[in-house]
Amino acid sequence: MKRAVRTVRPVRVTSVTSMVVRPLVTSTRRPALDAVMSKRCTPSPTSTTTSTRSPFTVPSLRRLPTTVCVVPSDADRRALVRYRVLAYTTAVLLIVLVFVGVPLQVWDHQPWVARIVGTAHGYLYLVYLLVAFDFTRRLRVPLLRMVLVLLAGTIPFCAIVAERLLTRRYERGVAEQDLTPAVSGAGRG
């Protein structure tokens, strides 16, 4: 039995190695999935133009085509809430540890605050790493920024700053998604 496949109008898809226009292939077996993917992954306006450069030159990073594939869903919203809760909890525990626990341990020889808060921060930091990795992956944050967000839980006040920046990025994505109309059946015929 042959699989039913139909092609739609070609969408200009370029990569670093090739400037070839490839047709967008959709399946007739899963039209609901095709509608979701056409709504989720819409090429940006810069990817509809072709370059007249030689294929042997390396394009600059600014001119690389980007595909906007981030449509915030309920799962993304829940991931944001998880990340925010753990970022603030980890940051507050680290601030208490650094500015209360360690001075009490060093100057007053009272190690119990540093022991309890340090242990709680350590375990919650491991959970923070998992949640922050999941959330930055959902936002499609570049690798360097992802590493910085993951390390933000080790420096006092940095987890709060990183949380604010990622929340703004998420809200900007939601606002952009609300402004752009979703075209689910465009190009089908």
Q: How do residues 28-80 score in pLDDT, each as one tens digit? A: 555 554 454 444 444 445 444 455 555 555 444 444 444 444 556 788 899 99
What digits encode the pLDDT tens for the residues 119-139? 999 999 999 999 999 999 998
**Are both 31 and 113 inside the same structural domain?**
no
Contact, 163 vs 88, CB < 8 A? yes
**Are both 78 and 59 inside the same structural domain?**
no
**Are both 161 and 82 inside the same structural domain?**
yes
What's the total number of domains in the chain?
2
Spatial separation of the C-alpha atoms in residues 178 and 60, rounded to whole Å: 30
Distance of alpha carbon 55 from the chain centroid: 31
If phi over 0 gives left and psi between -120 and 50 gives alpha, with beta otherwise, what is residue 107? alpha
**Are both 93 and 141 inside the same structural domain?**
yes
In a domain, 69, yes or no: no
The residue range of the domain holding 137 is 74-178
**Are both 172 and 118 inside the same structural domain?**
yes
Which residue from 149, 159, 147 is spatially nearest to 91, judged by alpha carbons? Answer: 159
**Are both 52 and 128 inside the same structural domain?**
no
